[in-house]
Amino acid sequence: MSLLFALVAGWFGQDGAPPADDRPAGRVSADGLRSDGAAAGQSAAQWPALPADQYRYTLAGQVVNVADGDTLTVRPAGQAQRRIRLANIDAPETGDGAARPGQPFGVAARRELESLVAGQQVSLQCYEEDHYGRDVCDVLLGGNDSANRRMVAAGYAWANQQGKGKHLRDTYMLTLERQARAAKQGIWAETGAIRPWVWRYDCWQQGKC
């Protein structure tokens, strides 16, 4: 009985709460990719340039909410809040009620994005406004780095290839996804990861969850 108690206590922690995150532990894989999404011995400054020639407008403001792994809200100074859809990526769905269940790693993806930008002043380079009224943007982190790229590199989002890739302007996302998959990071730590755009159709629209 004492051994069983020790095992349970070790899982739930001293305060009796379950683990706060469902992310796998960090690791360095054989190809040198760390669990924080950066290649070991390589900084984001060595990544290729962002697709600046495709940006149409800029925004800046404080991140006041992170809804999920690819959606946040910013408050520009003296303006109304703006909802931002991170461009070029698609993160696991967190779910919206019983009819729209979430995916594995949906909560972990949201927490990953929070760790990058929550509460911060950010600059955004934007491509367009989508049909939900959200600005579709890259969230800049300096140089050639972006929160969008970090999410894919860490294994918490896919390169968005929905609609035969029409939403993918930053093609370097494909390389980052391939590296994260090889390193078994984030969503790639388990087999059978379902792309969010497939999940939304099969599960949410067709009821095949």
Distance CA(120)–CA(48), nearest Å, equals 25
Show which residues are catalytic. Answer: 85, 93, 134
Q: Residue 110's Cα: distance from chain center in Å?
A: 7
Pair 165, 188: CB distance under 8 Å: no
Residue 161 burial by CB count (10 A; 0-12/13-18/19+): exposed, middle or buried? middle
Three-state DSSP class for residue 18: coil
Contacts of 182 (CB under 8 A, 6+ apart): 29, 31, 33
Buried b (16+ CB within 10 A) or exposed e, 26-53: eeebeeebbbebbbeeeebeebeebbee
Cβ within 8 Å of residue 129, ≥6 positions away:
135, 136
CB atoms within 10 A of CB 181: 16
